[in-house]
């Protein structure tokens, strides 16, 4: 994987953070300078350390589907609410990739975050980050790589966010992103299920018992 | 609809619950004509499987008539189908290599965390079991929503009665895979612990696969008699020193393969089993593995250990040294039912396999709770209970068991 191309004293932090695209994280990297992580071959986000103020979460699934087809689904952000259950809608704002995410917050509130595309390589990677003024500073990146043989595509989702200052912001971030690792894992598994089976798996017996229906009801 | 619901340890009741609906395109709704109580349902009844919630509809051995289909189901209304207890998508990596019970999509994403924490990887979805396995509504009901109905259910020809084919849903393929996992060769002696339905089908399967000798181990006389009728030698562990007997009956070599069809609630006299009983009762997740421990000590050097019996937690005082030093192979797992339904249906049709000899009782679905109590408390006589949603409450119907006492 290409994210390990830079090695050296900063490698430990760079592996995890470098994936997030050209984002100003200088302060964070400087903090990590004192105790560099030895460079093994594991993805940076599996490190037994935090990334300072940022929470970084990464997960990989293998999906038996064509890499470009998976990329195309993800590149159309308006598809993502199908698999991201806390996202109500993602509406493109302009042709340059800006989009507004409406995300469920507790007590029926909806938080809005505007993102822009930070990096894009057709069939390989899409990275996005929130623009100035969003309630929550967040960055995400999804990578697509061919799996061995006919196993399909390895899809890695990495998200990071920095809870903003102020009690309200911190509270919101905490509530929304309470279990970011869990959220990312579930979102990816739903993506995998939808791409492989054409359905989002549910064990509900009736329509009004599905997760989607319950989400609607709590709004 | 009416359905058997779990309410707590040793508390199951038939109640009225909401009818199932088509939710996803590949779904079908099955109107149940026959459904059985499985030995593994007794683990739920005893409260030793985590993740069962009050109100859950149990049952994972069922068949019936297709009454509704989603737009992407390949089934047609009116077809008779047997439904595998394992829910499998057919499209993930595991399904494409026929590891159907390892399906990575059938357990909903948000339900996978508990089993992933317990076992390192999430379990697949199973009907009517635990929320570890998806929390799907089960088959001891009038109707069932069957996901991925284009992959799992097998269509049954009209000339085959329910009793003949019902067990394709679980225990027949489970017994068959238990024998297959023992890699049986023509000169082999195979020992099977447990003469419940899975053990009996494992015995029958091992004989069909050509084992020279199959030895059945249990303590219920009636169950042992059923095993003997299939052609097995029998050993009553309350009367016989099992390990010594197996050594002698295998010419001092030791049995070539062992099959544990008992699982996590093994009876046993050893002190560690008593401690495990206590641990299980207080929710320590301790599996009582005395049958498996005995099997590992009994199998010959370089032999095979097959474990169709259900385990859910951990066990200690496990004979790991024997496993390594004797060079044993171990194979286990929930059954990859979809892999076996078609070939086993053929073996039922051509008479190679008898599937009705172990049914001791037919009961109305309404009397399912009595069925649980009796299957649990009177294991000698109650070898297999088939529930019929159509039968009138209070009516009984003897089974088709081959035992002289109950025929």
CATH of the domain at B223: 3.40.50.720
Q: Which residues of B touch A (CB under 8 A)?
A: 17-21, 23-26, 57, 72, 89-93, 96, 104-113, 125, 134-137, 145, 147-148
The range of the structural domain enclosing residue B192 comes to: 178-332
Residues B34 and B115 in one domain: yes
- The overall average pLDDT reported for chain B is 93
pLDDT at B222: 95
As for the ipTM of the complex, it is: 0.90
Total domain count for chain B? 2
Nearest CA in chain B to A203: B136
What ranges do the domains of chain A cover?
Answer: 1-52, 53-217
pLDDT at B359: 95
> Which of A64, A188, A202 should one mutate to test binding to chain B, selecting the residue with the greatest count of B CBs within 10 A?
A202
Find how far residue B15's CA is from the centre of its chain: 25
**B25-45 pLDDT, tens digit each:** 999 999 999 999 999 999 999
Residues B200 and B73 in one domain: no
pLDDT at A45: 81
The pTM assigned to this predicted structure is 0.88
Confidence of residue B284 (pLDDT cuts 50, 70, 90): low
pLDDT at A43: 84
Q: What percent of chain B has pLDDT over 70?
A: 94
Q: Closest to A206 (Cβ–Cβ): which among B18, B93, B147?
A: B18
Q: Output the CA–CA distances (angstroms, integers) from residue B200 to B261, B267, B401, in the order listed.
A: 9, 18, 12
Q: What percent of chain B has pLDDT over 90?
A: 83
Nearest CA in chain A to B1: A205
From B290, B310, B332, give the residue that closes a domain: B332
Nearest CA in chain B to A196: B91
Q: Name the more confident of B131 and A15.
A: B131
pLDDT at A167: 54
Q: According to DSSP H, which parts of B217-352 are helical?
A: 221-230, 242-249, 271-281, 290-298, 320-325, 337-349
pLDDT at A104: 79
Residues B28 and B132 in one domain: yes
Residues B138 and B33 in one domain: yes
From B299, B332, B365, give the residue that closes a domain: B332
Cα separation, A54 vs A113, whole angstroms: 17
Residues B373 and B288 in one domain: no
pLDDT at A138: 82
Second CATH level (architecture) for the domain A53-217: 2-Layer Sandwich (3.30)
- Strand B385-388 and strand B2-8: pairing? unpaired
- The closest alpha carbon to A194, from B233, B179, B25, belongs to B25
Provide, as residue numbers in chain B, all residues whose Cβ is less than 8 Å from the Cβ of A205.
17-18, 20-21, 57, 137, 145
Residues B113 and B199 in one domain: no
- Give the three-class secondary structure for A11: helix
Q: Closest to A206 (Cβ–Cβ): which among B21, B107, B108?
A: B21
- Report the range of poorest mean pLDDT among A65-69, B46-50, B151-155, B230-234: B46-50
Adjacent-strand bridge partners of B233: B215
Which segments in chain A show pLDDT lower than 50?
1-34, 177, 219
From B284, B310, B332, give the residue that closes a domain: B332
For chain A, the straight-line distance linking the first and the last C-alpha, in angstroms and rounded, comes to: 41
Residues B186 and B101 in one domain: no
Provide, as residue numbers in chain B, all residues whose Cβ is less than 8 Å from the Cβ of A211.
108, 110
pLDDT at A28: 39
> Which of B110, B122, B130, B150 should one mutate to test binding to chain A, selecting the residue with the greatest count of A CBs within 10 A?
B110
- Report the range of poorest mean pLDDT among A76-90, A118-132, B53-67, B392-406: B392-406
**B172-219 pLDDT, tens digit each:** 999 999 999 999 999 999 999 999 999 999 999 999 999 999 999 999
């Amino acid at each position: 994987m290409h994210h390990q191309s830079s090695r050296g004293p900063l490698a430990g932090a760079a592996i995890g953070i470098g994936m997030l695209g050209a984002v100003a994280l200088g302060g964070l990297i400087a903090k990590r300078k004192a105790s560099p992580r030895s460079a093994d071959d594991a993805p940076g986000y599996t490190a037994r350390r935090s990334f300072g103020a940022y929470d970084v979460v990464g997960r990989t699934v293998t999906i038996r589907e064509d890499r470009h087809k998976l990329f195309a689904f993800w590149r159309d952000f308006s598809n993502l609410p199908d698999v991201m259950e806390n996202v109500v809608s993602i509406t493109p704002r302009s042709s340059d990739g800006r989009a507004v995410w409406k995300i469920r917050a507790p007590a029926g509130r909806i938080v809005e975050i505007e993102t822009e595309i930070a990096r894009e390589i057709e069939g390989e990677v899409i990275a996005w980050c929130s623009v100035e003024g969003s309630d929550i500073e967040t960055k995400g990146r999804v990578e697509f790589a061919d799996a061995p043989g006919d196993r399909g595509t390895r899809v890695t989702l990495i998200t990071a966010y920095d809870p903003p200052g102020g009690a309200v912001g911190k509270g919101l971030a905490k509530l929304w992103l309470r279990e970011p690792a869990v959220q990312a894992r579930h979102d990816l598994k739903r993506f995998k299920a939808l791409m492989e089976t054409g359905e989002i798996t549910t064990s509900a017996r009736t329509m009004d018992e599905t997760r989607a229906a319950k989400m609607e009801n709590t709004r | 609809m009416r359905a058997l619901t779990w309410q707590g340890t040793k508390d199951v009741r038939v109640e009225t619950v909401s009818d199932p609906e088509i939710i996803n395109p590949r779904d079908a709704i099955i109107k149940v004509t026959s459904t059985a109580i499985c030995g593994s349902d007794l683990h739920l009844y005893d409260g030793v499987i985590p993740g069962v919630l009050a109100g859950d509809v149990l049952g994972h051995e069922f068949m019936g008539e297709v009454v509704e289909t989603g737009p992407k189901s390949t089934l047609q209304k009116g077809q008779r189908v047997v439904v595998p207890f394992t829910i499998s998508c057919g499209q993930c990596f595991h399904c494409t290599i026929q590891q159907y019970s390892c399906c990575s999509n059938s357990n909903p994403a948000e339900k996978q965390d508990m089993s992933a924490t317990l076992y390192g990887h999430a379990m697949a979805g199973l009907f009517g079991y635990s929320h570890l396995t998806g929390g799907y509504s089960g088959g001891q009901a009038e109707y069932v929503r069957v996901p991925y109905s284009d992959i799992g259910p097998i269509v049954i020809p009209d000339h085959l009665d329910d009793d003949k084919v019902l067990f394709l849903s679980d225990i027949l393929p489970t017994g068959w895979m238990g024998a297959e996992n023992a890699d049986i060769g023509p000169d082999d002696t195979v020992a099977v612990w447990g003469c419940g339905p899975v053990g009996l089908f494992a015995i029958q399967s091992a004989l069909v696969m050509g084992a020279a000798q199959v030895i059945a181990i249990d303590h219920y006389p009636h169950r042992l008699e059923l095993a003997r009728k299939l052609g097995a030698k029998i050993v009553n562990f309350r009367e016989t020193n099992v390990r010594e007997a197996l050594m002698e009956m295998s010419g001092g070599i030791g049995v070539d393969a062992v099959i544990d069809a008992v699982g996590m609630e093994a009876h046993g006299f050893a002190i560690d089993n008593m401690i495990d009983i206590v641990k299980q009762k207080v929710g320590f997740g301790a599996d009582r593995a005395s049958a498996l421990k005995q099997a590992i000590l009994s199998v010959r050097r370089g032999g095979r250990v097959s474990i169709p019996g259900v385990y859910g937690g951990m066990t200690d005082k496990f004979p790991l040294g024997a496993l390594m030093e004797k060079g044993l192979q171990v194979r286990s797992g929930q059954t990859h039912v979809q892999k076996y339904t078609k070939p086993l249906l053929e073996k039922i049709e051509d008479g190679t396999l008898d599937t009705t000899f172990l049914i001791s009782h037919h009961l109305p679905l309404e009397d399912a709770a009595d069925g649980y109590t009796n299957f649990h408390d009177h294991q000698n006589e109650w070898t297999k209970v088939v529930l019929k949603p159509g039968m009138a409450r209070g009516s009984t119907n003897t089974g088709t068991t081959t035992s002289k006492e109950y025929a």
